[in-house]
Amino acid sequence: MGQTIIEKILSSHCGQTACANEIVVAQVDYVMGQDGTAPLAINAFIEMGGKEVFDREKVAFVIDHSAPSPNEGVSALHKLMREFTREKGFRLYDIGEGVCHQLVPESGEVGPGSLVIGADSHTCTYGALNAFSTGVGSTDLAGGLISGKMWFKVPETVKFVCNGTLPPGVFSKDLILYLIGDVTADGATYMAAEYVGEAITALSQEARFTIANMAIEMGAKAGLMEADEKTFAWLSRFTKRKFTPVTADRDAVYTKILEYDVSNLEPQVARPHKVDNVVPVSEVAGKPIQQAVLGTCTNGRLEDLRIAAGILANRKIHRDVRLIVAPASRRVFLDAMAEGIIQTLVESGAAVVTPGCGPCVGTHNGVPSDGETVISTANRNFKGRMGNSSAEIFLASPATVAASALTGKITDPREFFV
Amino acid sequence: MQLNGKAHKFGNDVNTDYIISGKYKFKTLDMKELAKHVMEDLDPEFYGKIKAGDFIAGGTNFGCGSSREQAPLAIKYANISAVLAKSFARIFYRNAINTGLPVVECDTDLIDQGDELNVDLAAGIITNKTKGVTIPVKPLPRVMIKILNDGGLVPHFKKFGGFNFD
């Protein structure tokens, strides 16, 4: 019987043929924790009797969720992480280096066929590199740090076949929002998603990360894509390592195969307070906004900033709007400076903050006020997500966010792409 | 283990931001302090309504969203004895088992706000004492029963030095 991508990756890491619904204990290639999850994992590591991490080169902690620290409580937890990584001798990405889900791919340690666990739900992002990567909690993270292993129920796979060509002004963010709206927030729970088809192949590597990143928003354990020359070109900027691509067998068994034609897709927006509450932008266009956020592990990469800068060049954002920009990593920040993108964004009125997660996750860097409306490139719009349960959050592409920042209301960006 | 208490009903897609908001969880590892804010964005008075041993009864996709283990811990430290739901998001489900919070998949349409329940985890039976009905329970995977029986993943690792499911 043929195998799906995830069955093959799990098989190669557990020493047996892994079929859907079996339980396996697999070797992991990389283990990551961030400042919201690592402190609890350090406690669990010590309680479990852990002495050393399984491999210092295959482990990293990242301080990104509240970076730099906004208060003394957070500072104490950051200090704990700094001391633990120094003592155990493994990599800490400290404040300003970026969001974990940009840093792990940039490390060059993860590529086609890799198996990664991260104590952050959006660890599924690296599926865009043809890796099986998935989010776990702090106690699982501690177990992974000690043993280099993790138990998994081998998931069934749902295949999304995306045919056609995305129209101008419509991006991978619009596509994944549409797919989540279609299958709903638990449409792929316990399952792996495979995203295939000419619309996926046509995307840049950076745009593909956006889709894999949001697999968790349909409940999926992983969001996988095949590797191609774009994948390897992207990886070659960060590593000389050779990876072998993993493809699904022709007779692989899928729980569901869903087909879409993206050729007439409109820009999409997720309305408050659920990610699957998705409508075409035309249904909410005109709604006044007070804050716009460009960044996050979903849409804080160079290409995302470039698209926004293209719309904002030689223009000023609306006087009633704050535009907050958080590049996904220091490298993205530097590349965007070299290209003049940061100059353009700042001249338009944007406030650039430290690369990190703050504005998405409600810790600092732009908590909205009561009754305010925010449009963001992030992946979650839960009530209170940005630190105020009386604010409303709409999710959209970098283009829609930039266009909306310009006009002061939710705006279809396609007029900027004619 | 026999658990007895009242049910507190919630809807579908209760996410981990609702269970414990990011604005609190990054600041402290004091779970008793975090527990005071459990479900705050859905019901600001919720913590005050809990009697030790009570249950949360959710709908589908309970615990969706972030991987924060503070979510099951905040529920546990708020003295909730188990979470019942039609289905759970997978990371929350793992985290709950790993930290020793019982999670039970069952048809929560048979439970209303305030119903008195008896949950027999070993037998896998829920009795709704208010309605006089028994509710079947979907069994846990074998690996999870093993981890729960060991008291969570930390005691499991203490005992075996790693994963041991043989």
| CB of B41 less than 8 A from some CB of A | yes
Q: Mention every residue, 6+ apart, whose C-beta is less than 8 A from residue A334.
A: none
Cross-strand pairs, B105? B85, B138
Predicted local confidence at residue B1, as pLDDT: 74
Residues in B touching A382 (Cβ below 8 Å):
15, 17-18, 65
Closest chain B residue by Cα to residue A46: B154
Is the pLDDT assigned to residue A72 strictly greater than 80?
Answer: yes
To the nearest whole Å, the CA of A341 is away from the closest chain B CA by 31
Whether A317 contacts A289, CB under 8 Å: no
Whole-structure pTM value: 0.97
Closest chain B residue by Cα to residue A357: B22
Task: Indicate yes or no: CB of B158 within 8 angstroms of CB of A185.
Answer: no
Please provide residue A143's backbone torsions phi and psi, each rounded to the nearest 5 degrees. Answer: -60, -40
- Tell me the C-alpha distance between A93 and A63, whole Å: 6
pLDDT in tens, B12-64: 999 999 999 988 877 888 999 999 999 999 999 999 999 999 999 999 999 99
Closest chain B residue by Cα to residue A153: B141
Q: What is the ipTM of this complex?
A: 0.95
- What pLDDT band is residue A188 in, cutting at 50, 70 and 90? very high
- What pLDDT band is residue B148 in, cutting at 50, 70 and 90? confident
Task: Indicate yes or no: CB of A219 within 8 angstroms of CB of B89.
Answer: yes
Task: Indicate yes or no: CB of A25 within 8 angstroms of CB of B23.
Answer: no
Structure tokens at B50: 């809990």
- What pLDDT band is residue A404 in, cutting at 50, 70 and 90? very high
Predicted local confidence at residue A84, as pLDDT: 98
CATH number of B2-160: 3.20.19.10
- DSSP state at residue B12: S
Structure tokens at A363: 């810790």
- A173 alpha carbon, distance to own chain's centre: 11
Whether A126 contacts A104, CB under 8 Å: yes
Task: Indicate yes or no: CB of A363 within 8 angstroms of CB of B70.
Answer: no
Residue contacts between A and B (CB atoms, under 8 Å): 152
Task: Indicate yes or no: CB of B98 within 8 angstroms of CB of A139.
Answer: yes
Q: What region, left, alpha or beta, does residue B65 occupy, with left being phi > 0 and alpha being psi -120 to 50 degrees?
A: left
Q: A-contacting residues of B 138-157, CB under 8 Å?
A: 141-143, 152-154, 157
Whether A210 contacts A398, CB under 8 Å: no
Q: List the single best residue of A64, A151, A275 to mutate versus B (max B Cβ within 10 A).
A: A151
Q: Where are the alpha helices (DSSP H) in A138-260?
A: 138-147, 172-183, 198-201, 205-213, 229-236
Please provide residue A13's backbone torsions phi and psi, each rounded to the nearest 5 degrees. Answer: -110, 0
- What pLDDT band is residue A86 in, cutting at 50, 70 and 90? very high
Q: Where are the alpha helices (DSSP H) in A114-171?
A: 138-147
Average pLDDT over residues A54-62: 98
Would you say the C-alpha torsion A284, A289, A295, A296 has a positive or negative sign? Answer: negative
Residues in A touching B89 (Cβ below 8 Å):
186, 189, 219
- What pLDDT band is residue B140 in, cutting at 50, 70 and 90? confident
3-state helix, strand, coil in chain A (%, to 5): 40, 20, 40
**In this complex, which of A74, A385, A389 lies closest to B26 when CB atoms are compared?**
A74
What percentage of chain A reaches a pLDDT higher than 90? 99
Please name the residue that has the structure tokens 């188990």: B82
- Domains in chain A with CATH codes: 5-260 (3.30.499.10), 273-412 (3.30.499.10)
To the nearest whole Å, the CA of B47 is away from the closest chain A CA by 17
